[in-house]
C-alpha cells in the first residue's frame, strides 16, 4: 500500500535567526525560545512517525509557496532549496538552516495528471525556467520549517510540493472553495493508490505532510514578551471568538476525523485567517477515501489511528501537530 501516512506540521518561525533587526523582533525571538520545547518536541515526534513509515516520497501541501491566483501549483524542478526564515538576506539570513531536497519529478507529473482528471485547476511550475539541473525550486518557511524537522529524523525521501492557490481564493469564501478542496483530496488519493502498474507512484511508499498553521487572529496576551515590547495587536487583526472557535473545530476534526467539523470551520475562516485550512480539508478527504478503500476490515481491526494531536497558541497563531498512520 503506497499511501503510508498523513501528518500535520506547523511552520511558525521557531528556531529563527539571530541577530534580530529590532527590539520587538528580539522579544519575539525570546518568545520563540520559550515556546521551543513544545513546538520542537511535537514536530520532531511527527518526524519520527514519518521515519518509521519510511516513505520514498513525501507529498507536501504548502500555503506560502509560489501561489497562483486560481490554480494549484506543482513544482517540477529536479530539486528545491531555501530557508526557514521569512527573509533570506540581511539580518534575518539563516544559512545554517538552509534546506535542499530532491523533487520526484515523475511523481509531480502524476499528481498534475490526477488533478486534471478531477477538474482541479493546476499548473506545473518550473522555477527560473530551467530544464537542466542548475536551479531548483525556491522554498520558503512553509516548506523549509517542516523539512527542517523531518530531516533531523529522516532524509531518504524525495518530495512533491503542491502549492495552494493565493490568499484571495483560500482566505475568502471558504465555503465555496470546499468542493474544490475535496476534489484535490480525491485526486491525490487516486494518484497515491493507483493500481495501474505503469504508475510510478503505485510503486512508491508515500507520506503526505500538511504544512499548517491555524487561526492567525488570536489576541496577543498582555503578559507576552511581544506585547510588553510594543506589539499589542496581532498583525492580521484580532478576533478572539472566531480564532478560538475555529481552532476548536480543527481540534475536534483532529480527534474524530469527522469532516463536518471542517465544513463548519469554513464559515469563520475569513475571520480566523488560517493558512493551513485548505490542507486540512484535503487531508480529510484523503482519509475519508482511504477508509472507504480499505474499508471495514481496517475499521474493525482498529488499525487506523490518530496520534500525536497537539495544540497550542504561538503568540497570535494557533499551531497543531497530527499524525495519522495505519497498519
Query: For residues 80 and 275, which CB has a smaller minimum distance to Zn ion in the complex?
Result: 275
Q: Which three cell numbers stand for residue 88?
A: 533570506
Closest C-alpha to 56, from 100, 1, 116: 1
> How far is the first Cα of the chain from the last one, in angstroms, to the nearest whole number?
10
Query: For residues 110 and 213, which CB has a smaller minimum distance to Zn ion in the complex?
Result: 213
User: Does residue 213 touch Zn ion according to CB under 5 A?
Assistant: yes
User: Does residue 247 touch Zn ion according to CB under 5 A?
Assistant: no
Those residues with Cβ within 8 angstroms of residue 202's Cβ, 6 or more apart along the chain or in another chain = 2, 193, 194, 195, 196
Query: For residues 27 and 213, which CB has a smaller minimum distance to Zn ion in the complex?
Result: 213
Instruction: Give the shortest CB-211-to-Zn ion separation in angstroms.
Output: 8
# binding residues, Zn ion (CB under 5 A): 2
User: Does residue 242 touch Zn ion according to CB under 5 A?
Assistant: no
Segment lying near Zn ion (by CB under 5 A), choices 32-40, 177-185, 271-279, 301-309:
271-279
Query: For residues 157 and 275, which CB has a smaller minimum distance to Zn ion in the complex?
Result: 275
Segment lying near Zn ion (by CB under 5 A), choices 157-165, 198-206, 237-245, 270-278:
270-278
User: Does residue 275 touch Zn ion according to CB under 5 A?
Assistant: yes
Which residue number places its CB atom closest to Zn ion?
Answer: 275
Residue ranges of alpha helices (H) inside 68-210 are 105-117, 141-153, 167-171, 174-192
Instruction: Give the shortest CB-24-to-Zn ion separation in angstroms.
Output: 20
Instruction: Give the shortest CB-206-to-Zn ion separation in angstroms.
Output: 24
Cell 480525491, residue located: 186
Helix (H, G, I), strand (E, B) or coil at 264: helix
276 touches 210 (CB < 8 A): yes
84 touches 148 (CB < 8 A): yes
Instruction: Give the shortest CB-275-to-Zn ion separation in angstroms.
Output: 3
User: Does residue 143 touch Zn ion according to CB under 5 A?
Assistant: no
Segment lying near Zn ion (by CB under 5 A), choices 31-39, 147-155, 178-186, 208-216:
208-216
Give 3-state DSSP helix, strand, coil % of the chain, rounded to 5. Answer: 45, 20, 35
165 touches 71 (CB < 8 A): yes
Segment lying near Zn ion (by CB under 5 A), choices 52-60, 70-78, 209-217, 285-293:
209-217
Please state, in angstroms and rounded to a whole number, the distance separating the CA atoms of residues 139 and 249.
30
Helix (H, G, I), strand (E, B) or coil at 232: coil
Instruction: Give the shortest CB-103-to-Zn ion separation in angstroms.
Output: 21
Q: Which three cell numbers stand for residue 235?
A: 498583525
Query: For residues 138 and 325, which CB has a smaller minimum distance to Zn ion in the complex?
Result: 138
Which residues contact Zn ion (rule: CB under 5 A)? Answer: 213, 275
Amino acid at each position: 500500500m503506497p499511501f503510508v501516512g498523513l501528518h500535520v506540521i506547523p511552520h511558525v518561525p521557531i528556531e529563527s535567526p539571530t541577530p534580530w533587526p529590532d527590539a520587538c523582533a528580539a522579544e519575539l525571538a525570546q518568545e520563540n525560545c520559550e515556546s521551543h520545547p513544545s513546538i520542537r518536541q511535537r514536530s520532531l515526534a511527527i518526524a519520527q512517525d514519518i521515519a518509521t513509515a519510511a516513505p520514498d516520497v513525501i507529498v507536501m501541501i504548502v500555503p506560502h509557496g509560489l501561489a497562483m491566483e486560481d490554480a494549484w501549483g506543482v513544482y517540477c524542478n529536479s530539486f528545491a532549496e531555501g530557508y526557514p526564515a521569512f527573509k533570506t538576506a540581511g539580518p534575518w539570513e539563516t544559512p545554517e538552516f538552509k534546506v535542499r531536497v530532491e523533487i520526484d519529478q515523475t511523481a509531480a507529473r502524476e499528481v498534475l495528471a490526477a488533478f486534471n482528471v478531477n477538474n482541479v485547476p493546476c499548473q506545473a511550475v518550473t522555477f527560473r525556467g530551467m530544464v537542466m539541473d542548475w536551479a531548483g525550486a525556491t522554498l520558503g518557511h512553509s516548506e523549509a520549517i517542516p523539512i527542517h524537522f523531518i530531516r533531523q529524523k529522516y532524509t531518504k525521501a524525495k518530495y512533491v510540493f503542491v502549492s495552494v492557490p493565493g490568499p484571495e481564493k483560500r482566505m475568502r469564501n471558504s465555503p465555496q472553495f470546499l468542493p474544490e478542496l475535496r476534489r484535490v483530496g480525491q485526486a491525490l488519493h487516486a494518484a497515491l493508490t493507483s493500481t495501474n502498474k505503469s504508475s510510478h507512484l503505485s510503486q512508491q511508499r508515500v507520506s503526505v505532510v500538511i504544512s499548517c498553521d491555524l487561526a492567525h487572529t488570536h489576541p496577543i496576551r498582555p503578559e507576552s514578551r511581544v506585547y510588553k515590547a510594543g506589539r499589542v495587536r496581532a498583525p492580521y487583526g484580532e478576533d478572539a471568538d472566531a480564532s478560538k472557535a475555529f481552532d476548536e473545530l480543527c481540534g475536534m476534526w483532529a480527534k474524530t476525523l469527522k469532516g463536518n467539523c471542517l465544513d463548519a470551520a469554513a464559515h469563520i475562516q475569513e475571520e480566523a485567517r488560517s493558512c493551513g485550512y485548505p490542507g486540512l480539508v484535503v487531508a480529510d478527504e484523503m482519509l475519508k477515501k482511504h477508509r472507504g478503500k480499505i474499508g471495514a476490515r481496517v475499521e474493525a481491526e482498529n488499525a487506523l489511528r490518530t496520534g500525536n494531536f497537539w495544540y497550542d497558541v504561538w503568540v497570535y497563531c494557533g499551531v497543531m501537530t497530527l499524525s495519522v498512520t495505519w497498519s
